[in-house]
């Protein structure tokens, strides 16, 4: 098996490649959401413009986070976990709101829930958790 040497051990090249593909797909999706949210912002009611701006910036930030995780999966300890936490929390929120009949709850559940799963799979494939050992090495 061909391996790629990481800072804390070896990870099979195929695992890194699959995870890179998943994270780049997530990055592209987040960037498309960023671009399309510009239209939503332009047509938003003044009462919701701040929320739309916040949402738009979040899409852009997650585009960058997913690119970082795609190319340097073991370099940023804590970023994986924060991304998973955010997407899982949004997916759970979508599920709860779905039961209350809130508009777009199904969209949140499907997209953010899927991103939570995809990010977890990539995290496990790349052994992103081994990035934490870098912190111990620098002490």
Both structure tokens of 120: 């977890």
Ramachandran quadrant class, 92 (left: phi over 0; alpha: psi -120 to 50; beta: rest):
alpha
Domains: count for the chain:
1
Phi-psi sector, 9: left (phi>0), alpha (psi -120 to 50), beta: left
Q: How many CA atoms lie within 13 A of 26 on its CB side?
A: 31
Note down the domain range covering 77: 3-137
Phi, psi of 100 (to 5 degrees): -100, 0
CA distance 6 to 31: 28
- Predicted confidence at residue 10, as pLDDT, reads 64
Instruction: Look at residue 3 and give its three-state secondary structure.
Output: strand
What tens digit of pLDDT does each residue of 51-86 get?
Answer: 999 999 999 999 999 999 999 999 998 999 999 999
| pLDDT, tens digit, 9 for 90 and up, residues 23-59 | 999 999 999 999 999 998 889 999 999 999 999 999 9
Distance from C-alpha of 1 to C-alpha of 109, rounded to nearest angstrom: 38
Strand, coil or helix: 4: strand
Residues 89-134: pLDDT tens digits?
Answer: 999 999 999 999 999 999 999 999 999 999 999 999 999 999 998 7
Supply 39's token pair.
Answer: 């239209």
């Amino acid at each position: 098996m061909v391996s790629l040497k990481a800072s804390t051990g070896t990870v099979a090249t195929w695992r890194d490649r699959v995870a890179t593909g998943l994270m780049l797909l997530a990055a592209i999706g987040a960037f498309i959401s960023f671009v399309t949210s510009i239209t939503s912002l332009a047509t938003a009611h003044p009462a919701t413009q701040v929320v739309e701006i916040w949402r738009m910036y979040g899409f852009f930030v997650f585009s960058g986070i997913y690119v970082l995780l795609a190319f340097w999966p073991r370099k940023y300890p804590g970023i994986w976990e924060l991304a998973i936490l955010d997407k899982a929390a949004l997916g759970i929120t979508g599920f709860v709101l779905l039961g209350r009949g809130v508009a777009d709850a199904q969209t949140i559940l499907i997209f953010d829930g899927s991103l939570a799963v995809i990010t977890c799979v990539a995290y496990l494939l790349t052994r992103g958790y081994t990035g934490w050992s870098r912190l111990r090495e620098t002490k």
